[in-house]
Copies of this chain bind each other. A is one copy, B any other.
Amino acid sequence: MIKVGIVGGTGYTGVELLRILSTHPEVKLTAITARSDAGLPVADMFPSLRGIVDLAFTSPEETDLTGCDVVFFATPHGVAMSHARKLLAAGVRIIDLAADFRLKDTAEFEKWYGMPHACPDILQEAVYGLVEVNREAIRKARVIGLPGCYPTSVQLGLAPLLGHGKPLVNESMLIADCKSGVSGAGRRASVGSLFAESSDNFHAYGVKGHRHLPEIVQGLKAITGNTREIGLTFVPHLTPMIRGIHSTLYATLRPEASGIDFQSLYEDYYRNDPFVDVLPAGSHPETRSVRASNYLRIAVHRPGNGNTLVILVVEDNLVKGAAGQGVQCLNLMCGLDETTGLKQVPVLP
């Protein structure tokens, strides 16, 4: 059994990790830390786990995680990087669900997250945990910087276009119009995330700039083999649902790509990826079709056979956009089948 620890188990990605890992056949949960709730049985905070998770939260200071095989950080930005060196030295592998190991450029990290990076050397070693793009590197990684929820959907939605051998679209004029459920804002008390504020309401935010923009741009550029610059307009919106991200992506075809069969291109690209599902032509994926599961579904449209491609992508932001992708990485890092413990069927309705 793989001994797993979780640092920061009281947020939504934490409880989602617990939901998935508690039934993972090869994992033994050994510790869950939570500074302000140390001593509290996990199931007292999350009654959904009564009889399923018997652990109590422990104080991070008094918890020795060096005996774990893998430690997840489901913490605010800045925590994982402060613990990484010690854990790595003890042979523990790290999967960070926050942003500490995403942006390779430490200046960019500091600009968007407002703190210097604590361990640039480890950052350079870290592997970006976008499985369908980086699978082989993840197998060998000691540190995973797990993609954000928006970046996962945008990158996987555009990867078949940008990862193609020849340029297909105008990479300098990409648009990602993304809609997220409110759980993406986390389990922090804030007025904007109150039911009475965000129910029966819809709005954009962060149009001027959002932390996920540089991450997506870095990732898309990497997908082109760093051969092309990326110009992306990214507009996130808050939508009144708990879980789910729907990304609507717009790309302008290059004239030389006009004859391509994009449906086939996408199907071929993801043929061997168990969690990415390219829907039949003409489909409109629904977020609920992946609710509480690790699947991500994509539909490719070319309205009026014109030169604008419209790519529709849905994922559960807490699963494929966070905890599930983390477990997918864990499986790869531990030599397991990628789908182990991740076959939860989406909950519909």
A residues with a Cβ closer than 8 A to B are: 12, 15, 19, 22-23, 46-52, 173, 175, 177, 179, 181-183, 185, 187-191, 193-205, 207-209, 231, 233-235, 237, 239-244, 246, 248, 250, 252, 277, 279, 282-293, 297, 301, 303-304, 306, 308, 310, 312, 314, 318, 343-349
Q: Which residue of B lies closest to A44 (CB)?
A: B280
Name the contact of A344 in the complex, choosing from B241, B283, B344 (C-beta under 8 A). B344
Q: For the complex formed, measure the closest distance between the CB of A94 and the CB atoms of chain B, giving whole angstroms.
A: 25
| Complex Cα spacing A246 to B200, Å | 12
In the complex, what residues of B have CB within 8 A of residue A306's CB? 231, 233
Q: Which residue of B lies closest to A184 (CB)?
A: B196
In the complex, what residues of B have CB within 8 A of residue A187's CB? 191, 194, 196-197, 349
| Complex Cα spacing A48 to B189, Å | 24
Name the contact of A177 in the complex, choosing from B12, B177, B181, B344 (C-beta under 8 A). B177
| Complex Cα spacing A237 to B252, Å | 21
Q: For the complex formed, measure the closest distance between the CB of A199 and the CB atoms of chain B, giving whole angstroms.
A: 6
A246 close to B308 (CB less than 8 A): no
| Complex Cα spacing A213 to B286, Å | 22
Q: Which residue of B lies closest to A343 (CB)?
A: B23
With A189-B194, A209-B303, A301-B208 known as contacts, the answer to whether A246 contacts B202 (CB < 8 A) is yes
Name the contact of A241 in the complex, choosing from B189, B240, B252, B308 (C-beta under 8 A). B240
Name the contact of A289 in the complex, choosing from B47, B193, B237, B318 (C-beta under 8 A). B47
24 of the cross-chain contacts (CB-CB < 8 Å) are: A19-B346, A23-B345, A47-B279, A47-B285, A48-B291, A50-B297, A173-B308, A181-B202, A183-B349, A187-B194, A187-B197, A187-B349, A189-B189, A195-B242, A196-B242, A199-B200, A199-B241, A201-B286, A203-B284, A203-B287, A207-B284, A207-B312, A237-B246, A291-B347
B183 close to A196 (CB less than 8 A): yes
A179 close to B289 (CB less than 8 A): no
A193 close to B196 (CB less than 8 A): yes
Closest 5 CB pairs of A and B: A48-B346, A189-B189, A48-B348, A182-B195, A203-B286
Name the contact of A189 in the complex, choosing from B191, B205, B207, B279 (C-beta under 8 A). B191
| Complex Cα spacing A193 to B196, Å | 8
Q: Which residue of B lies closest to A197 (CB)?
A: B349
In the complex, what residues of B have CB within 8 A of residue A22's CB? 345
| Complex Cα spacing A119 to B237, Å | 43
In the complex, what residues of B have CB within 8 A of residue A290's CB? 48
In the complex, what residues of B have CB within 8 A of residue A204's CB? 246, 248, 284, 312
Q: Which residue of B lies closest to A186 (CB)?
A: B196
B310 close to A207 (CB less than 8 A): yes
Looking at A47, A195, A237, A282, which has the most chain B CB atoms within 10 Å of its CB? A195
In the complex, what residues of B have CB within 8 A of residue A241's CB? 199-202, 240
